[in-house]
Amino acid sequence: MANRVLIVDDDPAIRKLLEKVMQSNDLSCTLAENGHEALALLKDHTFDIVLLDISLGDMEGFEIIKHMRSQGINTPVMVISGRNEDFDSLYGLSLGADDYITKPFRPVVVGAKVKAILRRNQQLMDEHKTMIERGEFSFDTTTMRFYKSGEEIILSYKESALMSMFLHHPGQVFTKDMIYEQVWGTDIAVDDNAIMVYINRLRSKIEADSKKPTHIVTVRGVGYRFIP
């Protein structure tokens, strides 16, 4: 799905230019010609970045930034303004804007900066993400709840630890010693049959046919691999 951009500018020519630049970067655009329209859109829709003019006629863009941050809306904001005083740029950044570009601007530079901000924001979101998603499976590391195709599957503590290990490292082959260390917290074998017991339990819960597993597969003579 394409990232969504909200373009807020009272100049129709600038709105159209920015729309073309964003579309050329495979981004989806929504346009607002004044502050009140922008605030209404931010109330009912989610965007990945806001391109914001300061002089909007009905209000200053600074007010929109203040409103967003006070409401806990952390969407990145790039100010694109004809006001090139140091005070304006410093004030905008102090309110929570992520960048400040003055008009006239080079379209290719704006496009590159927007992509860079989106990339950086996605990285930050991934770092703080508590939900691990692999194919049809998802696991909330905060609540320790596990889902397959959106439906919760109840797992025991050890099953959750084992499933979490697999989800964090899809495709990796785990030996018995590696599993003991990761799940039991020791590299000393607890029970030769313990791993097989928990593997079978997981298979009975997530596989279409536990006797012909396609997700938790055995690598003969080595261990197990998880395939989402």
Per residue in 13-25, pLDDT tens?
A: 999 999 999 999 9
In 129-214, beta strands by DSSP E:
131-134, 137-140, 145-148, 151-153, 173-175
Dihedral (CA of 175, 181, 183, 186) sign: positive
What is the arithmetic mean of pLDDT over 92-120?
A: 93
Residue-level pLDDT at 194: 80
> What digits encode the pLDDT tens for the residues 151-191?
899 887 788 889 999 998 999 999 988 888 888 775 555 56
At 50, the pLDDT band (50, 70, 90 cuts) reads very high
If asked whether residues 146 and 76 sit together in one domain, one would say no
Give yes or no for residue 212 having a pLDDT over 70.
yes
Residue 182 pLDDT: 81
Shared domain for 61 and 102, answered yes or no, is yes
Domain tally, the chain: 2
pLDDT classification of 32: cutoffs 50, 70, 90 = very high
Which pLDDT band, with edges at 50, 70 and 90, does 205 fall under? very high
Q: What is the average pLDDT across 144-148? A: 88
Residue 187 tokens, joined = 């590299």
Which range marks the domain in which residue 199 is found? 131-226
The reply to whether 81 and 12 lie within a common domain is yes
| pLDDT the model gives residue 219 | 94
Residue that is last in its domain, among 127, 155, 186: 127
pLDDT given at position 127: 66
Predicted TM-score (pTM) of the model is 0.59
37 and 97 part of one domain = yes
The predicted structure's pLDDT at residue 190: 55
Residue 45 — pLDDT band, cuts 50, 70, 90? confident
Mean pLDDT over each residue of the chain, to the nearest integer: 89
Q: Is 155 exposed, middle or buried (0-12, 13-18, 19+ CB in 10 A)?
A: buried
